[in-house]
Structure 1
């Protein structure tokens, strides 16, 4: 279930608990939804895909962006 980054008062919301990722992933769901991986889903992506897939993503990112100028400090850095 997606969570807004901030509450109705504009204050940042806490990051989702790992158990919530488990609830989404256990029936075959995903943490990414239809818009890709955001910073709040970064931890859940590791649980969903595993280290081999993350390594592949990082390798592709490095091959396409060797200088690291596209979205520095984000998902695959």
Structure 2
């Protein structure tokens, strides 16, 4: 499947998580975070994503984790949807 096809499918379906549109970029960040959380070496994830710097991978992971924690806290305060 080509990236353009993925973009079109996501745009047409208007997929959202916690109010944020799902994009190929968001999926990429999520995949990297899931790999790291499951113990995959960050250097492998760096090479897989083609990033020149390991700090970029670490920053992505930290940002996704903060967003997930914030979302979970809001869900706890608001109760079930």
Q: TM-score, normalised by structure 1?
A: 0.28
Identify the structure with the greater helix proportion.
2
Identify the structure with the greater strand proportion.
2
Q: TM-score, normalised by structure 2?
A: 0.27
